[in-house]
Amino acid sequence: GINAEYGLVFRNKLMQYQGINLPDLLRRAIDQHEPVRREAETVLESFEKVPGFSVEILNTLTLSDQQTRFVGIVYLKKIVDKYWKQHSKTAYVIDEKEKAHIRENLLRVTIQEENHVVAVQMALVIGKISRLDFPDPWENLLSQLLSISQNTTGIPQTRSFLVLYHVVKVLSSRRLPTHKRQFTDIAIFLLEFITTIWRDSLDNFLNSLASPVLC
């Protein structure tokens, strides 16, 4: 799989720094001691153009340590900003297979994220990617979000609405005529969807008020 393919390249690079793994580096990047923090930031910066770095960062987002997840998603956002789009013919850009892996798995990780602050950062990254990759090649993004919001409850449903908000916000800001026409179609569909959810929620609320209270 892609984790094995890219992970080998990244781990070979990481072997230069004995006794350090990626979660450790991420935690050191926010250390209170400036020398420790600067060293970690320098090492992380040296990894940015290593194939598979974004995949390895994504893997840290499933760890139990909330602080590591937060720093990890902040770094992933930085990588997306710098290397997702080809800025010049000679500039480094993330491999298409690596991008596909991020698109496929970041949403899955986001809807399971329990911490709201971390989840917001994840939603922002998905929004940034959607600005460049929706509807092609991320054509199923909205259908995935709507399916999750309709067929789940609790945290996954809440996170799907959070991501949907940031995606719609980003898509509405695109200025090309083609993008504006796409957003018009999306807005009409989403209005119907949101109206349905609002009606269902209102009915449930009114029914709960009408139900007798058992003492």
Mind listing the pLDDT tens digit for each residue in 104-148? Answer: 999 999 999 999 999 999 999 999 999 999 999 999 999 999 999
Mind listing the pLDDT tens digit for each residue in 9-57? Answer: 666 666 666 567 899 999 999 999 999 999 999 999 989 998 889 999 9
Runs of H (alpha helix) within the chain: 2-14, 22-28, 34-47, 53-60, 66-83, 96-110, 116-133, 141-151, 154-172, 177-210
Q: pTM here? A: 0.86
In order, the DSSP letters of 180-211 are HHHHHHHHHHHHHHHHHHHHHHHHHHHHHHHS
Structural tokens at position 191: 């209005």
